[in-house]
Structure 1
Amino acid sequence: MTMSKLTPPTVRKTIVIKLGGSTLSHLTDEFFLNFKAMQNQYNIIITHGGGPAINEALANQRVHSHTIDGVRVTSKQAINVIQNTLIGQVNPSLVHALTKAGIAAVGLNGFDNQLVNANFLDEELYGFVGEVTQVNTAFLNQLLAVDFVPVIACIGAYEGQAMNINGDTMASEIALAIGAESLLLVTDVDGIRINKVYQQEATEKKINEWIATGDIYGGMIPKVQGALQCLQAGIPSVHIVGANLTGTKIKGE
Structure 2
Amino acid sequence: MRKQFVAGNWKMNKTVHEAYDLAIELITGLRAVRETEVALCPPFVALTAVKSAIANTMIRLGAQNMHDQDRGAFTGEISPVMLAGLADYVILGHSERRQHFGESDAFINRKVLAALRHGLRPILCIGETLEQNERGETEAVLAQQLHAALTGVAAEDATNVVIAYEPVWAIGTGRAATADDAQQRCAFVRAQLRDLFGALAEEMRIQYGGSVTPANAPEILRQPDVDGALVGGASLKADDFIAIVRAAKGNL
TM range (shorter): 0.3 to 0.5
TM-score normalized with structure 1 length: 0.34
Query: TM-score, structure 2 length as denominator?
Result: 0.34
* Bigger Cα Rg: 1
